Amino acid sequence: MRILALIMSVLFTANIYAVDKIVMLNDAKEIKLAYSDIEKLGGKIIKELPLINAVVVRFNDYVKDNDIYTLGYVKKVEDDLYIKWIEETTLPELPSVESVRKNIEERNYDYSINKPSFSTDKLTDEELNEIPWGVKRVNSYKAWDWTTGKNVKVGVIDTGIDYNHPDLKANYAGGYNAIDSSKTPLDDNGHGTHVAGTIAAVKDLKGVVGVAPDVKLYAVKVLDSGGSGSYSAVIDGIQWAVNNKMDVINMSLGSRYGNDSLKAAIDAAYKSGVVVVCAAGNDGGAVNYPAKYPGAIAVSALDSSDKIASFSSRGPEIAFIAPGVNIYSTWMEGKYRSASGTSMASPHVAGLSALVIGLGVKGPDAVKQVLIKSATKLPNLKDTEQGNGVIDASKFYDIVSGH
């Protein structure tokens, strides 16, 4: 009998494992006052998320959600799932030289209004070659005489950034590793570096140039080398961005499944004045989370023929469509690579938002209104595919200045 009892005890112990929960507290409850109650339930708080008044708690699996709700001041309990957030989509066809050049137009500038940092009305072949087709398509270079995003703080919530890359190093201003705060947010996947290049690669006649080539770029690493991460890490990354006063955050990540804690984080970022730009998703279906939330600007993917990419998610939440097929940008170890996905479309809009902020526009609603006024709907696309259409940065100065 003793042997049988010992065996049963070992088997029971082997079946006990730890599960992480995001526990949201009522607004009136201070996090520090919840520690003792949670510990009495057998839980260990492993991270605080004050942005949404929540804690990440490690419980033994026999502690059920109903047990946690007995505390009374608990608003929501959710599993802190560790999931895949990014999927790269590759397409074989590269944009032709003709399709790229047809998007380049001449513009005469009134230089008496403001002395430009450089002229863009007559770009050299060398300058043109540095600008990827997507950056040309949204006419970013036609706004650079007035705004290059200088001193605008942009956070890339992703797999990190190769901050040693020659096209990113000058603009890199710091960051945070939400997976392991003792480590730097160095990219070990490539995705975040690619996104960063589209936003902020420097203008140096080498490699590529980003939409907003003078922003302050911050790496917020929330995903591992495989593009996976926990909900709490993503929320922690948003929290860091808010606490460090980012003007714009780009979230080229998504899931078919949202939760209350992620929505609360997006809402909090929006209310704090952060422009939140998100990839719509690559499953061809409904818009993914967090792009689906009202506080986010959801972006679908356009190809070089002005058609929506077949993989792009779509729906009433789409705010804009931006280049997202065969986008050439920075990669790890100082390299460059083409990639496709709404992950590549989103940073175009994040960079455009930074250009608008560089003109003195404040707050996510005001920034979005400028983007809307500058956008043109494509006649061959539905509203659920393109939202307000393709943004034209050449219109920013006139819209903001009232000309």
State the pLDDT confidence band at 99, using cuts at 50, 70 and 90. very low
Q: Say yes or no to pLDDT of 123 above 70.
A: yes
Q: Say yes or no to pLDDT of 3 above 70.
A: no
Give the residue-averaged pLDDT of 228-239: 98
Residue of 191, 255, 346, 374 marked active site: 191
Residue of 230, 232, 340, 343 marked active site: 343
Residue with token string 């995705």: 191
Residue 87 confidence (pLDDT): 79
Q: What is the pLDDT of residues 185-221, one digit of tens each?
A: 999 999 999 999 999 999 999 999 999 999 999 999 9
Ordered by where they begin, the domains of the chain are 2-80 (3.30.70.80), 97-401 (3.40.50.200)
Q: Determine what percent of the chain is predicted with pLDDT higher than 90.
A: 84
- Both structure tokens of 370: 């400028």
**Phi-psi domain of 367 (left: phi exceeds 0; alpha: psi -120 through 50; beta: other):** alpha
Residue 89 confidence (pLDDT): 65
Q: Give the contacts of 403 (CB within 8 A, at least 6 positions apart).
A: 397
Distance separating alpha carbons of residues 54 and 44, to the nearest angstrom: 13
Half-sphere exposure of 334 (CA within 13 A, CB side): 3
The residue ranges of DSSP E strands in 61-142, in sequence order, are 74-79, 82-84
For residue 290, is the peptide bond before it cis, meaning its omega torsion is within 30 degrees of 0?
A: yes
The whole-model pTM stands at 0.89
Residue 276 confidence (pLDDT): 98
Q: What is the pLDDT of residues 266-285, one digit of tens each?
A: 999 999 999 999 999 999 99
Residue 289 confidence (pLDDT): 98
Q: Give the contacts of 252 (CB within 8 A, at least 6 positions apart).
A: 86, 158, 191, 195, 278, 279, 341, 342, 343, 344, 346, 347
161 within 8 A of 219, measured Cβ to Cβ? yes
| Catalytic status, residue 140 | no
DSSP state of 268: H
Residue of 20, 80, 158, 236 marked active site: 158
Strand, coil or helix: 12: helix
Residue 293 confidence (pLDDT): 98
Residue 122 confidence (pLDDT): 64
| Catalytic status, residue 191 | yes
Q: What is the pLDDT of residues 313-372, one digit of tens each?
A: 999 999 999 999 999 999 999 999 999 999 999 999 999 999 999 999 999 999 999 999
| Catalytic status, residue 158 | yes
- Both structure tokens of 82: 């560790």
